[in-house]
Amino acid sequence: MKADRTSLSDLLRVSGFKATSGRVEVLGLFIRAGRPLSQMQIMEMLGPRLDRASVYRILSAFTEAGLLHMAYVDGRHRVYELPDKCGHSHCHPHFSCRSCGMTACLEDFQVKCKGSIGKGFVAERQKVLIEGLCPGCKGK
Residues near DNA (CB under 7 A) are: 9, 12-13, 17-23, 38-40, 49-54, 56-58, 60-61, 76-78
The answer to whether 92 and 107 are in contact (CB under 8 A) is yes
* C-alpha to C-alpha distance for 43 and 40, rounded to whole angstroms: 5
Name every residue whose Cβ is closer than 8 Å to that of residue 70 and which is 6 or more positions away in sequence.
63, 78, 79, 80
**124 lies in the binding site for its own copies (CB under 8 A):** yes
Q: Minimum distance from CB of 109 to Mn ion (Å)?
A: 11
Residue 137 binds to Zn ion (criterion: CB under 5 A): yes
Interaction between residue 79 and Mn ion (CB under 5 A): no
Closer to DNA at the Cβ: 56 or 109? 56
> Which has the closest alpha carbon to 39: 52, 28, 25, 48?
52
Residues that bind its own copies (CB under 8 A): 73, 76, 93, 95, 98, 104, 106, 108-135, 138
